[in-house]
Amino acid sequence: MTGSLAGLLVVDLTRALAGPQAAMMLGDLGARVIKVESPAGDDTRSWGPPFVRTEDGTAESTYFLSCNRNKESIALDLKRDDDADVLARLIRRADVLMENFKPGGLRRLGFGTEELMELNPRLVVLSISGFGHDGPEADRAGYDQIAQGEAGLMSLTGPDPAHPQRVGVPIADLLAGMNGAFGVLAALRERDRTGRGQIVRTSLLASVVAAHAFQGTRWTVAGEVGSAQGNQHPTIAPYGLFRCAGGSVQIACGNDAMWHRLCAAFDITADDPRYATNADRLAHRDSLTALLESVFADHAADELLRRLADAGIPAGRVRALDEVYEWEQTRSQRLLVDVEHEGLGRISLPGSALRTFSVDPAGAETETTRVGHRPPPVFDADADAIREWLDVVPPRVQS
């Protein structure tokens, strides 16, 4: 096992996406992750189409494959004493336990906070919920699109305020997973100092609200309620998607100097008082957009992007996903990883966003990013090996 977290054991009781994403992030960094599934399996094993078929005809969900690499699988029915005992034995050996039951769900199975800390006082527990573990709506089930709407994100996304739109990926789940992994690492650092574990809690609601960024302070400080603006930035102009000959490009003029370079590159009058400052350009954004699109109308996207690059204007195209994964820049950043799946053979998966490097005294860098990855596990495939390991490896905390 390679990676910064090699030697760390994570017991992953989560299902769907937020929790599995958090556990996979730690697995990508080298932790050993044991995924504990119910006898029915993780919900996402049945989420599709698309499914891909193994040689024996088993259907594998591409959704499940997206968030469960670098894990082992064991199926346990925690309402059975013998299976609950297997989980207790895992907990005694674990560094981290992750769960996303509804608040109180793990306690009802006999693994409340007191029981967990008795089993392993050094355990870090990550709990992810939909709307928080307390408060008047703590018992609500959390699904991504519901959270996107309740947390205001859909009101900021879409062509206009009358047509709220969800983000095209389950962003509430993904943010909760990222926040969960971040919190676990902080708790492990605290354990280094105190010798004791911690409880880390986050939610889909908290993760979206915490990501409101300037749209949040736009309301809390300035008293303005943001709304959907389509593909134009609500506070910067010109910044967005602009039509050109046969397509479109995106440009981002983040300051007045960039605006003046854009004007010089395309023979636009820079001293027009309507566009003198960013505030002026925002106030006249419709006419500014019309002006730029009239100038860009004679330029195909590739030519336009070259001219924008020569002028030092940040710009780009809108790629379909197949184009993204075929792009050499994507591949250069290790954003595709190849794994050998038991039933599917060699498959490619979207990779981790993180790369790590060691630096010697002379400043030379050596990449230490994990390069050998486990495929997403076949259901219950590691059960026998895990039980055998439990019989051999002593617990961190003796019974």
Q: Do 10 and 33 meet the contact criterion of CB atoms below 8 Å apart?
A: yes
Q: Report the run of H or E that residue 384 belongs to, with start and end.
A: helix 383-392
What is the Cα–Cα distance from 314 to 126, expressed in whole angstroms? 39
Point out the catalytic residue in the list 12, 95, 173, 382. 173
What is the Cα–Cα distance from 393 to 377, expressed in whole angstroms? 22
Token pair of 250 as six digits: 């995106």
Q: Do 207 and 179 meet the contact criterion of CB atoms below 8 Å apart?
A: yes
Q: Do 147 and 38 meet the contact criterion of CB atoms below 8 Å apart?
A: no
What is the Cα–Cα distance from 200 to 184, expressed in whole angstroms? 7
Tell me if residue 155 falls in helix, strand or coil: helix
Q: Is the dihedral of CA 288, 294, 295, 299 positive or negative?
A: positive
Asked about 173 being catalytic, the answer comes back as yes
What is the Cα–Cα distance from 180 to 195, expressed in whole angstroms? 21
What is the Cα–Cα distance from 79 to 297, expressed in whole angstroms? 66
Token pair of 130 as six digits: 């939909």
Q: Where do the H-state alpha helices sit in the chain?
A: 18-28, 62-66, 81-93, 105-108, 113-119, 144-150, 171-194, 204-210, 214-220, 256-265, 278-283, 285-296, 301-310, 321-326, 328-332, 383-392
What is the Cα–Cα distance from 346 to 363, expressed in whole angstroms? 37
Please, which residues bridge with residue 72 across strands? Answer: 34
Token pair of 393 as six digits: 């490896």
Instruction: Catalogue the active-site residues.
Output: 173
